[in-house]
Amino acid sequence: MGLVLFLMAALWGLGWVMKTPIRARLIMIALLYLAVILAQLLLPETAELRRATGGDVRPWLVLGGVVALGYGYSRLIARLRRSPPETPQPNPDSFREAELNRYARHIILREIGGTGQKKLKSAKVLVVGAGGLGSPALLYLAAAGVGTIGVIDDDTVDGTNLQRQIIHTDERIGMPKVFSAQAAMQALNPFITIRPYNRRLDAETAATLFAEYDLILDGTDNFDTRYLVNRAAVATGKPLIAAAITQWEGQISLYHPATDAPCYECIFPQRPAPGLAPSCAEAGVIAPLPGILGTMMANEALKEITGAGTGLRGRMILWDALYSETRTMRLKRRADCACCATVSAGPA
Ligand SMILES: [Zn+2]
């Protein structure tokens, strides 16, 4: 037996000197081992070769078993070591230690708590427009831990945006806004999923897209898209938080005929005549104004998801930034609304 073990060691050493691959050396030693086993089993007890290799098959089988066990154990350890490190993945049912720490100031709020934070984590919110209103809305939704955030916009970051669209940066000028926004949100919170849609919202796909989300936020700056967003939100029964700004004034409300709140068209049945409602590009806008209104959008979104407090169903807040005044208007559905007249309201 000693002779065979010596031969095995010699094979290994020789292979090492000749730089034979470890695999080839192992195969040679395994062949030698098999030959010995066969010699023990097939040759008569008196045969010289069988006597020279120990004369008994049992110690060889024990040796083979021990080596096989050792090899299997080392492979198992290697596989365990190779398994990839944990990456943050949104899981609606549980929070990691790092997430509990991140959302600690929410979790101690009576109106949010652990239950509310779980609702935020499993919520899906779509933000239309990654511009002035979308910037703070998206950042605060991400920071707050909304688990899935969609953002749709077909624009690219322009130098004139950076006076107020704080989700973008100077070095991302020229990049599609949705990817710039995605980078900023992911950097702020790696525990959430961002879905960027680098295209213009159109009537054909809006309803399909909205159906994938629980709540829609509209921060667009043109009336075509605003009416389109409202129609798709009504068609899919989703609550819509929409804000608008110009110069020093902003407004915000939550539109949702399915819970007897008006829709956008109930309040604005007709588009303003061209020139009467100039865009920010034409009329100008003070930098923090979209920040204030966009942040209010995020705040209303978090309330809507968690059920905290009283939202803006049937109410519109008007914010005058120049004179620092707010007004709240009561809003009602219009029975003859071209958009939502056929929608019957369920419980709020
Ligand atoms: Zn309506």
pLDDT in tens, 298-348: 999 999 999 999 999 999 999 999 999 999 999 999 999 999 999 987 765
Identify the pLDDT of residue 90: 53
Tell me, yes or no, whether 22 and 138 share the same domain.
Answer: no
Tell me, yes or no, whether 112 and 167 share the same domain.
Answer: yes
User: What is the Cα–Cα distance from 83 to 81, expressed in whole angstroms?
Assistant: 6
Q: Which residues, 6 or more positions from 279, have their beta carbon under 8 angstroms from its beta carbon?
A: 221, 222, 246
The enclosing H or E element of 122 equals helix 113-122
Tell me, yes or no, whether 109 and 179 share the same domain.
Answer: yes
- Smallest Cα–Cα separation from 175: which of 164, 188, 162? 162
Identify the pLDDT of residue 238: 98
User: What is the Cα–Cα distance from 11 to 5, expressed in whole angstroms?
Assistant: 10
Calculate helix-pair angle for 58-82, 22-42, nearest 10 degrees. Answer: 150
Whether this prediction's pTM lies above 0.85 is answered by no
Domain-terminating residue out of 51, 82, 113: 82
Q: 254 C-alpha vs ligand 1 centroid, how far in Å?
A: 12
- Look up residue 20 and give its two tokens: 């034979």
- Look up residue 194 and give its two tokens: 């961002």
Tell me the CATH number at 146.
3.40.50.720
Q: 267 C-alpha vs ligand 1 centroid, how far in Å?
A: 7
Range of the domain at 60: 2-82
Tell me, yes or no, whether 179 and 277 share the same domain.
Answer: yes
Q: In what order do the strands lie in the sheet with 315-320?
A: 193-197, 148-152, 124-128, 215-218, 240-246, 249-255, 315-320, 325-330
Q: 231 C-alpha vs ligand 1 centroid, how far in Å?
A: 9
Q: Do residues 198 and 176 make contact, with C-beta atoms less than 8 angstroms apart?
A: yes
Dump pLDDT digits (tens) for 37-88.
Answer: 777 777 777 777 777 777 777 777 777 777 777 777 777 777 766 655 555 5
Tell me, yes or no, whether 75 and 193 share the same domain.
Answer: no
Residue 15 falls inside a structural domain:
yes
Identify the pLDDT of residue 174: 98
Residue 252 falls inside a structural domain:
yes
Tell me, yes or no, whether 68 and 105 share the same domain.
Answer: no
Residue 181 falls inside a structural domain:
yes
Tell me, yes or no, whether 231 and 131 share the same domain.
Answer: yes
Domain-terminating residue out of 26, 52, 82: 82
Residue 263 falls inside a structural domain:
yes
Tell me, yes or no, whether 77 and 103 share the same domain.
Answer: no
User: What is the Cα–Cα distance from 125 to 144, expressed in whole angstroms?
Assistant: 12
Identify the pLDDT of residue 327: 98
Tell me, yes or no, whether 64 and 131 share the same domain.
Answer: no
Tell me, yes or no, whether 101 and 243 share the same domain.
Answer: yes
Torsion of Cα atoms, 328 then 332 then 338 then 342, to 10°: 140
Residue 340 falls inside a structural domain:
no
Identify the pLDDT of residue 58: 78
Around ion ligand 1, which residues have CB less than 5 A away?
Answer: 263, 265-266, 337, 339-340
Residue 53 falls inside a structural domain:
yes
Looking at the structure of the chain, the number of domains it has is 2
Identify the pLDDT of residue 272: 82
Residue 52 falls inside a structural domain:
yes
Identify the pLDDT of residue 44: 77
Tell me, yes or no, whether 55 and 162 share the same domain.
Answer: no
Q: 108 C-alpha vs ligand 1 centroid, how far in Å?
A: 38
Tell me, yes or no, whether 114 and 204 share the same domain.
Answer: yes
Identify the pLDDT of residue 277: 73
Q: 300 C-alpha vs ligand 1 centroid, how far in Å?
A: 20
- Smallest Cα–Cα separation from 262: which of 290, 234, 289? 234
Q: Do residues 131 and 106 make contact, with C-beta atoms less than 8 angstroms apart?
A: no
- Look up residue 92 and give its two tokens: 């609606």
Greatest C-alpha distance within the chain: 113
Residue 303 falls inside a structural domain:
yes
Given a cut of 50, the residues of the chain with pLDDT beneath it are none
